[in-house]
Amino acid sequence: MTEHVWSYRETSGRVQGVDLTGFKVEAVDGGIGKVDKHSDEVDSAYLVVDTGPWIFGKEVLLPAGTVSRIDVDDEKIYVDRTKEQIKNAPEFHRDKHLEDVGYHAELGTYYGAGGPFGGRSL
């Protein structure tokens, strides 16, 4: 995984300017939903994924560092986490995720070097 969980990996295939909204998101063990929103901000890039019925219509926020590959032709994004790991992530709060530094840090810790993954890809 990258040193910074809020940045896309150089090897992910991320093409600047491509709108990822609507792309399907695939965990290592199957589909988890579609991208509802995304940000390419430097050091704060992320995907908001609408999980549909998978976890009762909830949304999850995935830092860009979890993206292992983007297939623009098939409109799919692959992340290196399991469905269970994503389901167990801190709850997404649409209204405060941009302003709440603590929430940002909590997600960064969960998905980054200080979290259960030890900064390594699965």
pLDDT 10s digits, 3-55 = 589 999 988 998 888 999 999 999 999 999 999 999 998 888 999 999 887 77
In a domain, 82, yes or no: yes
Q: Which CATH number covers residue 96?
A: 2.30.30.240
pLDDT on residue 106: 86
Q: Is residue 5 part of a domain?
A: no
The answer to whether position 40 is within a domain reads yes
Average pLDDT, the chain: 84
**Statement: residue 113 has pLDDT above 60:** no
Judge whether 3 lies within some domain.
no
Asked if residue 119 belongs to a domain, the reply is: no
With b for 16 or more beta-carbon neighbours within 10 A and e for fewer, the 63-95 pattern comes to: bbbbbbebeeeeeebbbbbebebbeebeebeee
120 domain-assigned: no
For the record, the structure tokens of 93 come out as 């709060």
66 belongs to a structural domain: yes
Rounded to whole angstroms, the Cα distance separating 51 from 79 reads: 14
In this predicted structure, the answer to whether residue 114 has a pLDDT above a threshold of 80 is no
pTM metric for this prediction: 0.85
In this model, does residue 119 exceed pLDDT 50?
no
Range of the structural domain that residue 31 is part of: 10-111
| Total number of domains in the chain | 1
Tens digit of pLDDT for each residue in 44-93?
Answer: 899 999 988 777 778 899 999 999 999 999 999 999 999 999 988 888 87
32-41 residues labelled b (16+ CB within 10 A) or e (exposed): bbbbbebeee
Residue 118 placed within a domain: no
